[in-house]
Chains A and B, each alone.
Chain A
Amino acid sequence: ELKVEQNPLFLSMQEGKNYTIYCNYSTTSDRLYWYRQDPGKSLESLFVLLSNGAVKQEGRLMASLDTKARLSTLHITAAVHDLSATYFCAVDPLFETSGSRLTFGEGTQLTVNP
Chain B
Amino acid sequence: DARVTQTPRHKVTEMGQEVTMRCQPILGHNTVFWYRQTMMQGLELLAYFRNRAPLDDSGMPKDRFSAEMPDATLATLKIQPSEPRDSAVYFCASGRTANSNQPQHFGDGTRLSIL
Using CB atoms and an 8 Å cutoff, list the residues of chain A in contact with chain B. 31, 33, 35, 41-45, 48, 50, 88, 96-104, 106-107
B103 cross-chain contacts in A, Cβ below 8 A: 33, 35, 45, 48, 98
Nearest first, the 5 closest Cβ-Cβ pairs linking A and B are A99-B31, A99-B95, A99-B97, A45-B103, A104-B43
**Measured CA separation A33–B97 after assembly (Å):** 15
**Measured CA separation A100–B93 after assembly (Å):** 11
**Measured CA separation A82–B32 after assembly (Å):** 31
Q: Count A-B contacts at CB 8 Å.
A: 62
Decide if B22 is an interface residue (CB 8 Å cutoff).
Answer: no
Specify which of B43, B45, B50, B91 is in contact with A99 (CB 8 Å cutoff).
B50
Q: Is the CB of A100 within 8 A of B45?
A: no
Q: Is the CB of A101 within 8 A of B48?
A: yes
Q: Is the CB of B107 within 8 A of A42?
A: yes
Given A99-B95, A101-B48, A101-B56, do A50 and B100 touch, yes or no (CB 8 Å)? yes
**Measured CA separation A48–B91 after assembly (Å):** 20
Q: Is the CB of A45 within 8 A of B105?
A: yes
B90 to chain A, nearest CB (A): 12
Residue of A nearest to B94 (CB): A99
Q: Is the CB of A43 within 8 A of B96?
A: no
